[in-house]
């Protein structure tokens, strides 16, 4: 359970009682693979004083800072956000202390140093959302896809790709059989995951972006590679041309292909295990505007002939255009 969050002066304080050992809660707070289950689409953390961390929390919103203290159930982070908002990276401070409480662990949480009451209040509502997801994850449950990651109302290609990444990573975490068949002919789940990793590297390299070499679970590797490729392209921009399909490929193409690969193959992976895959309405609308021409360009091998069914609408119609049968 989560106690009432108290916001006073320019800080937030709350506590969360979790039915799990202190060691398990600590891992949920510090292991990037575990952080990605309850708070971040993708996470990195150097768990040492002075170490850097960065969390892609929702599409278009990356938290970052440094680890200020770590040890004996205590974690202190400098916290803020990339971009031009009022709370910059490392500007505020998060203090977390874990306490044994019988067969529970109490997480005491403080967030200090806000520049104004408005930013404090925005973060207070956010922490209530994420602390409940932390409790579910630390107690061994699956918080599922964070509804806050379905995408903004008016996405650009980068936030659309990050929303698709969030959905695909959530599906990947639920895949029990890596040898299961997928809708992609001759591709098992393990092959499709390898294809996605390779595609992200190729598309990142087209923009001169060096991607990490993450280890860990398939979901964590996909999250790290996808987030790094999208962030790299966001930093580079889509001006000019690159070498991809030829020497003069418009630079708008690689990030759009990243979005397409994550969106369509996310559905393929979900289909392999009869899992739901439902992109948000704004992401489907974005895909309907930007992917049909790309799909037609790939009709010579990347995409099967379209499935003919006039009754299909929305995302199902896009899947049919891409040679997939959603019925």
Q: pLDDT at residue 312 above 70?
A: yes
Architecture per CATH, domain 6-138, reads as 2-Layer Sandwich (3.30)
User: CA 326 from chain center: how many Å?
Assistant: 25
Q: pLDDT at residue 186 above 90?
A: no
Q: pLDDT at residue 21 above 80?
A: yes
Q: pLDDT at residue 169 above 70?
A: yes
- pTM of the predicted model as reported, rounded to 2 decimal places: 0.95
Q: Using CA atoms, how far apart are residues 222 and 165, in angstroms rounded to an integer? A: 8
* Structure confidence at residue 15 (pLDDT): 95
36-68 pLDDT, tens digit each: 999 999 999 999 999 999 999 999 999 999 999
For residues 124-149, give the mean pLDDT. Answer: 96
Least confident of 67-81, 158-172, 300-314: 300-314
* Structure confidence at residue 6 (pLDDT): 59
For residues 222-239, give the mean pLDDT. Answer: 98
Evaluated on CA atoms 292, 162, 125, 9, the torsion sign reads negative
Q: pLDDT at residue 1 above 50?
A: no
CATH number of 150-321: 1.20.120
Tell me the percentage of the chain whose pLDDT exceeds 70: 98
Q: pLDDT at residue 174 above 90?
A: yes
- Say if CB 112 and CB 10 are below 8 A apart: yes
Query: What are the domain boundaries of the chain?
Result: 6-138, 150-321
Residue 90, burial from CB neighbour count under 10 angstroms (0-12, 13-18, 19+): middle
User: % helix / strand / coil in the chain, to the nearest 5?
Assistant: 40, 20, 35
Q: Which of the four pLDDT bands, split at 50, 70 and 90, describes residue 5?
A: low
In the chain, DSSP finds a helix count (H) and a strand count (E) of 10, 10
Give CA separation, 178 vs 43, 136, 163, 187, 222, in Å. 23, 26, 23, 11, 14
Q: Looking at the DSSP assignment, which residues form a beta bridge with residue 248?
A: none
* Structure confidence at residue 148 (pLDDT): 97
Query: For 181, how many CA atoms within 13 A lie in the half-sphere containing its CB?
Result: 3
Say whether 150-321 and 6-138 share the same fold. Answer: no
For residues 135-139, give the mean pLDDT. Answer: 98
Q: Using CA atoms, how far apart are residues 306 and 322, in angstroms rounded to an integer? A: 6
- Say if CB 121 and CB 9 are below 8 A apart: no
Q: In the numeric block, which tokens belong to residue 104? A: 């529970």
- Give me the DSSP letters along 14-54: EEEEESS-HHHHHHHHH-HHHHHHHT-SEEEE--STT-EEE
Which residues lie closer than 8 Å to 7 by C-beta, 6 or more apart? 120, 121, 124
Q: Using CA atoms, how far apart are residues 85 and 14, in angstroms rounded to an integer? A: 24
Q: In the numeric block, which tokens belong to residue 187? A: 């591709």
Number of Cβ atoms within 10 Å of the Cβ of 103 = 8
For residues 126-150, give the mean pLDDT. Answer: 97
* Structure confidence at residue 246 (pLDDT): 81
Q: pLDDT at residue 128 above 50?
A: yes
């Amino acid at each position: 359970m989560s106690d009432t969050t108290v916001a006073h002066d320019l800080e937030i304080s709350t506590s969360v009682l979790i039915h799990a050992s202190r060691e398990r809660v600590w891992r949920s707070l510090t292991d990037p693979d575990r952080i990605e289950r309850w708070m971040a689409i993708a996470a990195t953390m150097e768990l040492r004083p002075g170490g850097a961390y960065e969390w892609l929390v929702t599409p278009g919103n990356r938290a970052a800072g440094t680890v200020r203290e770590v040890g004996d159930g205590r974690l202190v982070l400098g916290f803020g956000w990339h971009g031009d908002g009022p709370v910059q990276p490392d500007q505020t401070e998060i203090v977390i202390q874990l306490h044994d409480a019988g067969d529970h662990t109490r997480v005491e949480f403080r967030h200090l140093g806000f520049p104004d009451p408005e930013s404090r209040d925005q973060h207070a509502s956010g922490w209530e959302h994420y602390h409940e997801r932390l409790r579910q994850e630390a107690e061994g449950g699956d918080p599922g896809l964070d509804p806050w990651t379905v995408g903004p109302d008016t996405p650009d290609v980068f936030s659309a790709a990050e929303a698709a990444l969030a959905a695909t990573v959530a599906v990947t975490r639920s895949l029990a059989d890596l040898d299961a068949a997928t809708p992609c002919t001759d591709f098992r789940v393990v092959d499709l995951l390898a294809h996605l990793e390779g595609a992200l590297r190729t598309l990142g390299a087209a923009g001169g972006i060096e991607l990490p070499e993450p280890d860990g679970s398939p979901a964590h590797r996909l999250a790290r590679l996808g987030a790094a490729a999208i962030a790299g392209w966001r930093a580079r921009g889509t001006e000019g041309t690159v070498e991809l399909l030829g020497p003069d490929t418009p630079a708008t193409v690689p990030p759009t292909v990243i979005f397409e690969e994550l969106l369509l193959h996310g559905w393929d992976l979900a289909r392999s295990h009869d899992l739901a895959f439902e992109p948000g309405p704004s992401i489907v609308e974005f895909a309907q505007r930007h992917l049909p021409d790309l799909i037609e360009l790939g009709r010579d091998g990347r995409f099967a002939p379209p499935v003919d069914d006039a009754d299909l609408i929305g995302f199902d119609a896009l899947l049919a255009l891409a040679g997939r049968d959603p019925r």
